[in-house]
Amino acid sequence: MMTIIRIIGSMRFAVGILLLLAVVLAWATVLDSRYGSEASAFAVYHAWWFLGLCGLLGGSVLASALLRFPWKKHQIGFVVTHLGILVLMAGCVLTFWRGQDGSLGLFEGASGDTAFLKTLHFEVTDGERVDEIPFRPGPFSWRNYADSSMKVEPSQRLSAFPWNGIPSDRKRPEWSVGNGVTVRVEDYVRGTVQPVSKEPTLVIWGPLEKGGKAETYALVPSRMDQRIHAPSGEAVVFWRTESAAEMAFFQNGTPDFINPTQAQLVLGLEGKIYRMPLNALPFGEAKGVEGTDWTVTLSRVEPEICMVKLTVANGKTGKNATLTLVADAPELSVQGRAENVFASLWVPTEKLEYVSPNGKPLPVEDDAERMKPMLERMHKLISGPRVEILEQGGQYATRFWKAPKLCRVFPVKVGKPFMVMPGLRMVIRSGEAEDFPGYAVVPMPISGKHHAQGGSVFVRLTATVDGVATTGWIRAADMVVGGTPEMPDDPTEVLWAQGKERTVKIMLKPDRVALGFRLRLDKFNRRLDPGTATAARYSSTVSLLDGEGNVLRENIVVNLNQPVDFQDTKTGRVWRVFQTSFRGPIPPNDPVFTQVVLPGDMREQLYVSWFTVNDAPGRGLLYFGCLLMVLGIGILYSMKAYFFK
């Protein structure tokens, strides 16, 4: 044991560790300048081996002091200096393990008591149950790593060392939440979104007897008055869905037409298909779906355009969905995607013939006569044979309808021609990949002025609920600025995973921490450089509030380089608040201004002030360790210890 202590406490060992640390720190500085501080912390400062080197340095300092025990008078400076180093390192370790850094944004006049951290978590909401999954993806888009199978430019490919060997959730991207729910991250991107420059295209060949000429069309969601028409006259309608359940219903929810003269309603409930004649539904009354807890209530019928409106409800679970079905324009139908309820209406005759079995007449609108010619013109636009194309997650399916029967339903492969019917041949050719409607996710460069640590965070998830998988992109939710009114969730920030009998909501959110006190931004102060719009200096005047909104201190000025300390009276934690940045002035015609400022408020502009809040529990040890080191060095030189024997 003494041999090991002598080796660790020797001058050669200490010099070797210091030289190695110097090389490592120089390398970390290069990484910082090229990739940013988050990458250098990921690769070096938070790596287990770097912490091990620091531990060896601390062990060397301790061993060198112990080897000289019992200490003599001329060694007091030496001992105090080494004690200062150990205290300093202890403060660093304590801050590393227990410290936190967050951001707090406030509108003028608003207050906040929660800071947002740089780390992320998935929030999985299943009814009343909410689970949080910590997510530590690393500083780069996953496709940039050397072992990724995704294609990127060679200049955007990271070297295998050191990045591939660093632990992160990239190595284990799947979690089981429990209760039949699993979440898997397929891709992670630090970047932005750009409009898709080219939609998929549909190529249609005309009949051979007419020359078989090919026509190319942009494959975009159809509008009633802008449908694609094949050379042989058939209409082509196209729409998209994010729901795998809707795609399955599209392929299986076809009519059987036992009675080929009656309209038929086809329902998709909990992954099963149910069919019933429309005339079996009494108008305005609930009709049970045989063998289920579901009921259907018909609330509106428009015979001129073959449209119905109905409510599908489950008396056992309390679910209900209101659907609008247009037989000749399924792309316009409103489905119950959130409730996992789908339906289609099939009318084999020229006009929808409906007679309620309860004898109840259909309600007549006041302007029915005036609207009738318009509805008839609308019906002419959408009636007739049609090809329906549905896209879900890059997969396509097609069905062809020509009254009084459905001719064909089949999946379609991109780039492979398919025959809809004799004389009608098509092929779908892919455009640029679309991650959000109309947009594609684009990674930021891994280095340079706009490196990967800028931009927003996007993840592509596959969520499995009760064996049903849903895949899609979501964007990490933004930090909430204090004073922002409560708004509905941004659709780009939510993935709805539909199971057999439930829908699970998944979001990616920044971690947050309660400060234990509340700050109110009373006024943002800005001074401009003469003759410019550039801020020479800026600060925030804030008030400290308790949990009930009572003012404890006011007129506290937080300057750019003069932070202020606030204490959580319950836990004793001291948060140091720094002035970081700002946004503004925001004029009254800005949508943000109208959302935040109440009517009657006469303000002509608005500011947002951003603060960095820092909790460093080892700060006192750091200061004390530095003081001991200065004191020890002073003792060394004052006593001229190096000349004593």
pLDDT digit string (tens) for 257-290?
777 778 899 999 988 999 999 999 999 999 999 9
State the average pLDDT over residues 153-158: 86
Cα separation, 613 vs 99, whole angstroms: 11
In terms of DSSP bridges, do strands 439-443 and 214-218 run parallel, antiparallel, or are they unpaired? unpaired
Q: Are strands 424-429 and 201-205 parallel, antiparallel or unpaired?
A: antiparallel
Residue 378 and residue 224: Cα distance in Å, rounded? 8
- Decide: 406 and 429 in contact? Cβ < 8 Å: no
Question: Across residues 465-478, what is the average pLDDT?
Answer: 92
- 415-468 pLDDT, tens digit per residue, is 888 888 877 888 888 766 677 777 788 888 887 544 545 678 999 999 999 999
CA distance 490 to 478: 10
CA 465 – CA 437 distance, rounded (Å)? 24
The residue-averaged pLDDT of 508-514 equals 94
Give the per-residue pLDDT at 543. Answer: 95
Lowest-confidence pick of 31-35, 84-88, 289-293, 351-355: 351-355
Is residue 98 a contact partner of residue 617, using CB atoms and an 8 Å limit? yes
Residue 365, token pair as written in the block: 């609108």
Residue 133 has pLDDT above 90, yes or no: yes
Instruction: Name the residue among 344, 340, 350 with its Cα closest to residue 254.
Output: 344
3 state SS for 24-86: HHHHHHHHHHHHCHHHHHHHHHCCHHHHHHHHHHHHHHHHHHHCCCCCCHHHHHHHHHHHHHH
Confidence tier at 603 by pLDDT (50, 70, 90): confident
In angstroms, rounded to a whole number, what is the distance separating the alpha carbons of residues 115 and 613?
7
pLDDT tens string 217-232: 888 887 655 778 888 7
pLDDT for 641: 46
Q: Name the residue among 511, 512, 456, 453 with its Cα closest to residue 120.
A: 511
Summary mean pLDDT of the chain: 86
More confident residue, 181 or 483: 181
pLDDT in tens, 320-354: 999 999 888 888 889 998 889 999 999 888 778 88
pLDDT for the residue numbered 459: 95
**Residue 208 vs residue 152, higher pLDDT:** 152
User: Is the model's pLDDT at 211 over the cut of 70?
Assistant: no
